[in-house]
Structure 1
């Protein structure tokens, strides 16, 4: 199961997230002649070898993969060589898969890097799909993304086979008995062992900090003096960590659907429990129900499904775990609320087909039963990041608090605080990410008041932690996950003016 405490990969919600869709030059076109060859890279204490900083990217046609079709058109792909262990830059290296479309207009600014969240989202497969939403930006920027280490074509992890993933769907993620509890934690430990077998030495080198350092190497090899970046969801944490490590290299950074850097693992779980219940309340009110009454009906439905999984049009049953994912997934976009209404109505009548289809969409399961592996990478990255590992006893004490916040999603997210990284093979690195970036150029933060996955309150906390004069905040009074490209001319024009002209909006700007 995907962990909802982290920020869902954009690729998992691709059809839901986009429903409609003055600065000087930052350097040359990407000659690969890094200006910092042989010197210590900013934010690092160890000099980088010239073999890395001066490498030339061999851009060519993109190849199709098992999980990503060939994009064709103007898209080009290349491979960047980066240190496996950033403490040993002269040691073993890892290949990172990159994709780009060169600026198609005049007055080129430089490269604009994209991270679409997760952690675990493939930038190589997502950027071509997302490019129509940023066509205006593509006139003056090379649009660039990559598969972070441990993701997709960058030595992506596969911790379980398709058959094992499907079998795990029968595990109760809100255990009610000691037997269910034992099965839940046995399954969690088995997942970690599978990741360790797949990743090997990479398991300890897929952190957000590792990827932020990869970004700065990417900047040098692309030939940019500053990093211009668009981070969505988890990509906002990555952007904040980058700004902390390399404040003097910050160019124009946009962070949309901002995560709360002040929250630890339990805090993130509470934030998302609150965010998804808020979105559910708004959905229920839109259908003419009261939030309280509608929530009670859904809780009753889930209890019935827990006791007796629902039949579907296939030979698979809709379990409570799959039903919860099916309920949660459409809350990422207001445009999908009618689909949620239809699925709940069918489930109440004893047919789990539509909720199962929603869960499969979220879990990246295709009609043949093949699962993509974004959630495998997500778990490995987040468990390497998170030092906090609540015990079973500590989690049980938290459950009443979670259930009070959301009777629907609270039990799942509460248990997840202990289950996600249970018996994980490597230790976590920090309780909360360090994002303070004194001296950095202004960074634009975009918060959506109805965002379920990265609740709005985190935007202000990110602004506060970046530091005075660095975080500049825009508020959109909307629904769904993220704000840019979601139909607000106010948001889109402010982001475009910032990225294309360097025009920093007034801090606190509100778009309704």
Structure 2
């Protein structure tokens, strides 16, 4: 995925609870329920964030570092759960919120309100996949280096000198990842994590894997279904990644998706989408030539930061008024609001510390993807991308060349294998206004899963993800499937 593949479907969630994991006896009846490998205990606070409430428990599961050597060295995966609230428990429901690189341990408590109905019959469970956060999380660059790169690297290079800085920064980032991750850098693929998921299923004592995947989590779910079709229980895939798209295909899809979301935003303001897009593109060009001052001492709004700030509020319709205010301020010469949005996307706090989601995202996606587009290939597709979107096209096109440039390990495939003959039905939920994982990916995922397996549910809505986003129709259909096993008609549409 590109760097604009946001790891969470919650868009502008104001705060994410953060929790570490610790062992310790919980006194629960895991042996009676079939789970014998996990020692659940109280969750510890992480950094400045407090531990989640007492209903949350954490544990660590040991899995092979290298799945081709199952008896060899192991790594620990951090898990979190909250027990089912009702008496008619069905088992565990495992969540992955996307990325790749998102911490399920951090996200699960803040998503629990959305999943409250599902918790009536399931333990809510998530984890930090290998290479992420508390599961041997990778940090490729120090905070000061990240901020310096934000100020000096143009991700839409206009000159040969800027191109060299762009590629040099990409190569340097990869070296930092390799230094920090060590041999783990070759064992963080989606396939590795799918195998981890089956070990989690076994440790939870569940005969089948009941799973809810969002964004990249849909690709992970599809890969699991391919590897273990007979172990698929009730699986929901929401905000679906197109498994048939290669590197350029994903970038093209996202260019279309973000421009579609921008058009919808502009129309909601009563603006002509073509004219509004042109005005935003002109603003970005002016910022590229002369970065805007901000209220943060020593920091200016560059074109790259401005574009990132525009991207974030497009993930949810609730963010559109925030985008309007930020764009109006930037037109008046103040980049503070767009910078704040960019910092939110980049997980930068007020003290200048950055999160590591993008670091983990890069090591996972560059191990997955065997393609390494060159600058020459990018230049050839640049006009097409800019025609699709004068705002987002150039950045997403250049990103294909820079993301895995000079990466220290080769990638594994052009596209993931998700065919799952023999699997139970899998609910595939697509949102027509999704910017990051455009709607077309849902049908393609269902087709790739195979006849009788992929079942498409469509929502004519806005934002990244459909469940819990305001559609009673979507929520009712998903709840009926997950809680009762009622599979909706393939092609059902919620408006």
Give the TM bin, normalised by the shorter chain. over 0.9
Matched with 1:42 is: none
Please give the alpha-carbon distance, in whole angstroms, between the structure 2 residues aligned to 1:250 and 1:197: 37
Please give the alpha-carbon distance, in whole angstroms, between the structure 2 residues aligned to 1:107 and 1:100: 17
Conserved 8 A contact 2:306-2:342: yes
Conserved 8 A contact 1:13-1:362: no
Conserved 8 A contact 1:388-1:431: yes
Cα deviation, residue 69, structure 1:
3.2
Please give the alpha-carbon distance, in whole angstroms, between the structure 2 residues aligned to 1:57 and 1:403: 51
Normalising by structure 2, report the TM-score: 0.95
Number of aligned pairs?
482
Please give the alpha-carbon distance, in whole angstroms, between the structure 2 residues aligned to 1:124 and 1:79: 11
1:504 aligns with 2:487: yes
1:96 aligns with 2:45: no
Matched with 2:210 is: 228
DSSP-derived class of the 1:132 partner = coil
Please give the alpha-carbon distance, in whole angstroms, between the structure 1 residues aligned to 2:137 and 2:154: 27
Matched with 1:162 is: 143
**Match for residue 178 of structure 2 among 182, 193, 196:** 196
DSSP-derived class of the 1:211 partner = helix
Normalising by structure 1, report the TM-score: 0.92
Moved over 6 A (4+): none
RMSD over aligned Cα atoms? 1.7
Conserved 8 A contact 2:10-2:464: no
Conserved 8 A contact 2:12-2:313: no
1:128 aligns with 2:109: yes
**C-alpha distance 33-12 of structure 1, shift in aligned 2 (>3 A):** closer
In structure 1, the gaps of 5 or more residues are 19-27, 35-53
Please give the alpha-carbon distance, in whole angstroms, between the structure 1 residues aligned to 2:10 and 2:317: 16
Conserved 8 A contact 1:12-1:363: no
**C-alpha distance 509-432 of structure 1, shift in aligned 2 (>3 A):** same
Please give the alpha-carbon distance, in whole angstroms, between the structure 2 residues aligned to 1:17 and 1:62: 18
Cα deviation, residue 68, structure 1:
4.9
In structure 2, the gaps of 5 or more residues are 17-27
Matched with 2:8 is: 10
**C-alpha distance 13-177 of structure 1, shift in aligned 2 (>3 A):** same
Matched with 1:41 is: none
Matched with 1:144 is: 125
Cα deviation, residue 14, structure 1:
5.0
Please give the alpha-carbon distance, in whole angstroms, between the structure 1 residues aligned to 2:340 and 2:15: 17
What per-residue deviation string (whole Å, max 9, x for no partner) do you get for residues 78-106 of structure 1?
Answer: 00000000000000000000000011111
**C-alpha distance 83-32 of structure 1, shift in aligned 2 (>3 A):** farther
Matched with 2:321 is: 338
Matched with 2:240 is: 258
Matched with 1:493 is: 476
Matched with 1:63 is: 44
DSSP-derived class of the 2:168 partner = helix
**Match for residue 240 of structure 1 among 213, 219, 222:** 222
Matched with 1:425 is: 408
Cα deviation, residue 166, structure 1:
0.3
Matched with 2:466 is: 483
Cα deviation, residue 9, structure 1:
1.0
Matched with 1:37 is: none
